[in-house]
Amino acid sequence: MSVHASSPDPSSVSSRRAVLRASGLAGLVIAGTAAASGSAQAAPARAGDVLRLDTVAELRELNTRPLATGTQILLAGHTRPGDGGGMALRWDPESTAAHNNGTVIAPKNAKTGRWHQLHTGTLDFRTFGHFDAKTPADAALDAMIADKSVHRIEAHTDLLFTKRHLFSRSHIELDFGGNLIRTEGIEKNTHDNPFGAVLSFRGTLTDTTVEHALSGKVIELTDTFPVPDAKAFEVGQWWAVQVAPVEGGGRDERELQKLVEITEIVDATHIRIGYLNGWELAAGRTLTWTRVEPVRDAHVRNMVFEGAGRDEYTGSHPVSYEYAVGCDVSGIHATGSFWPVIMRRWCTRFRTEDCSLKNPPTVEYGGAGYLTQQIYCLYGRVADCTTSNVRHLNDLTASAYCTVVNCHGDGDDAGGNPFTTHGQYEHDLLFDGNSGLMDIANSGAQWGISAKRITVRRHVCSWFTANTKITDLTLEDITVIARPTFDQAGTLTVNADGAQVRGCTAKTFAVAQRSARSGRPTTISDCSFEPPAGAVLVQTPVTATVHFVRCTFKGVDGAILRGAGPVHFTDCTVIGAENAAPLSVGSADLRIDGGHYDNTGIELSAVRDQRITLTGGARLTGGNKARALLGRAAGPGKVTWDINGIAGAASGADTAHIRIADGTNHYAASGSRFTGGTLHLAPDALASALHTGCVEDGTKRTAMPANGPSVRTDGNLVL
């Protein structure tokens, strides 16, 4: 008796139905001991016959001797009918494929002949008998990945993995359906190996390499590179290219390390790649190209991951990619992952979205406790991710043209920075709408502490430092709010190398300088700061011009502008604390154009020759601890004073608008109004003086030089 896929003979329909009703199975199925012993007999089935059984166990007991090649069977479930593990299979009597309890089912005690699962490219762990996290699903995963006809793997239940899987498979999607993935008892990892993930995808490095010294300079933002012989390359190939370390620099200090596609053979000695180089490379620098067969389009989605283990060997993490193109991750929510939840190196064109990590085993071990890290990566997007109590939410190392959007990290009191870069020549990165501590290019000299064209917008945090060799940093609408459990100073620090800081708020702001690569000015505009007493606003190494425009400084008390570089204030408001010390200025060139300076004042340090220019209707009002709104210390430097069109209003009769009593000074003031207070211009301290065209309203002259060849103090209106 047999069941055919085609229309049955009407004369046999009633008898066949009777057999099916009696057995509950297809006509060839003989359950129980007889089938197990192989003693059951049935008429041979024809190709195309479709049988029905309840479980895989029954299928393995089936007497297959009468079956024709191509006989098909439908299982109602894997372990029991309706358990979700149902599937269709096809009989191949010649097959000797290894039994895997899912895509290949071997009859018991059969050397040849196998049932092969029929599918449309989508497979399910339930068809391998996995319905919970009680037994490891590693073998099932390996079997499905190894099947090149499979393009999608689904999980509909919790699962347990105890192996670290390394795949080179492309064009595959693993969707765990939001179920729990457990890893207790997972095999040990090797030392310092963040790529020993449960799911690790790695492209293949070939033995084809090209190494050569550059015959000429490679300019910034070029996609055309010289090579010894362009015939070694083909359009569409992928190559890992890197430059030798910077001479005298750190061990990993390289301006170029990327996985790139060959897009054009330009001529016999030039190729074009799919990447605009971010850093100039000098003639003589050595490039090494290695051809890669990358993993492509291998995606992992939707799992709740529960890490196991407390150290680099026993700890577990979900996903890693190396030499991969277009591999996305989404919907992974991890707890206790040791290494980064999503680890990438030598990757391009990828998305990491809607992922999270909380409470990793450590935030102290280097490289551990991250949500995601990208090393030597291009064209990535990290979006809509969150972390709690981690080391880093996102780390971009030696990466370019990546964006981080709407990501938020909390629980960072231990000093973990949700947002960071290593400083290994990152460039053209955008952070938009995020929250959490931020630290750019600050991992140490090993990587070079360099970055370029980093833009951060609409960011909220309690600490933000970007004071290493960061060129052309752009900050917009950054809010740094002091937090007593971490940084009570609420610090925002930038490098004076083309920094543009706009619309930002912080308690403590500081300008440092570690590099001078940019052609654009360092400008801080429309910002608000409230520095603690004695805060250093411009640090000692700063030689670049720092320009503050329409900024507000509140509660200022003895703030210090220590660097020698020019400092300009345009239309700024500086409000001092009660009985505050004046600003201490070491800049060689201080320019104040407009604005209001109340209860603060300025004292030049005179540690070097200095020039101070006040103009544009700047107002200096109130008083300070030094009892002088403008003054100088007794340093060795010569000071040149240019004062024009300002308005001073001293709050106390003993407060000087200008006090010059020490050192060598050249003084000129005109067109200004002084109300109350005093003017103290000591003759012995003035090499030259011009004080004319001013209005002195109730102002007492406590010292003033007599007119002479180098002095003119007449022509003023004294009220």
How do the domains of the chain map onto residue ranges? Answer: 10-118, 217-293, 530-719
- Tell me the HSE value of 511 on the side-chain side, using a 13 A CA sphere: 31
Backbone angles phi, psi at 685, to 5 degrees: -95, 0
* Calpha distance 550→548 (Å, rounded): 7
The rounded Cα 366 to chain-centroid distance in angstroms is: 16
Residue pair 114/143 in contact (Cβ under 8 Å)? The answer is: no
- Sign of the CA dihedral running 282, 288, 289, 292: negative
pLDDT at 417: 87
- Sort strands 286-293 and 238-243 into parallel, antiparallel or unpaired: antiparallel
* Calpha distance 281→521 (Å, rounded): 24
pLDDT at 40: 31
pLDDT at 2: 32
Q: What's the average pLDDT block by block, 10 residues per block, for the chain (719 residues)?
A: 33 34 34 33 52 96 93 97 97 96 95 96 98 97 97 98 98 98 98 98 98 96 98 98 94 96 98 98 98 98 96 97 98 98 98 97 92 98 97 97 97 84 96 96 90 98 96 98 90 98 97 97 98 96 98 97 98 96 98 98 97 98 97 96 97 96 97 97 97 97 95 94
- Sign of the CA dihedral running 437, 443, 444, 450: negative
Backbone angles phi, psi at 22, to 5 degrees: -70, -40
pLDDT at 16: 33
pLDDT at 4: 30
Helix (H, G, I), strand (E, B) or coil at 336: coil
CA nearest neighbour of 118 among 157, 95, 143, 86: 86
Residue 445, C-beta contacts closer than 8 angstroms, at least 6 positions apart: 249, 250, 253
**Which DSSP helix (H) or strand (E) runs through 114?**
strand 114-118
Residue entry with tokens 């001073």? 648
* Angle at 171 (CA atoms; ends 165, 177), nearest 5 degrees: 65
* Calpha distance 288→242 (Å, rounded): 6
* Calpha distance 683→665 (Å, rounded): 10
pLDDT at 49: 65
Residue entry with tokens 């089938």? 35
Strand partners, 421: 396
Residue entry with tokens 């196998």? 114
Task: Take residue 200 and report the two structure tokens written for it.
Answer: 């690790």
CA nearest neighbour of 464 among 507, 423, 425, 414: 507
Residue entry with tokens 């430092």? 465
pTM tops 0.75 = yes
* Calpha distance 341→335 (Å, rounded): 9
Helix (H, G, I), strand (E, B) or coil at 661: coil
pLDDT at 75: 97
Residue pair 87/73 in contact (Cβ under 8 Å)? The answer is: no
Task: Take residue 5 and report the two structure tokens written for it.
Answer: 């896929």
Helix (H, G, I), strand (E, B) or coil at 378: strand
pLDDT at 50: 82
pLDDT at 603: 97
Query: What DSSP string runs through 534-592?
Result: T-EEE-TT--S-EEEES-EEEEE-S-EE-SSS-EEEES-EEEEPTTPPPEEE--SEEEE
Residue 207, C-beta contacts closer than 8 angstroms, at least 6 positions apart: none
* Calpha distance 130→100 (Å, rounded): 12
Task: Take residue 591 and report the two structure tokens written for it.
Answer: 């320019």
The distance between the two most distant Cα atoms of the chain, rounded to a whole number of Å, is: 136
CA nearest neighbour of 3 among 26, 21, 19: 26
**Which DSSP helix (H) or strand (E) runs through 255?**
none
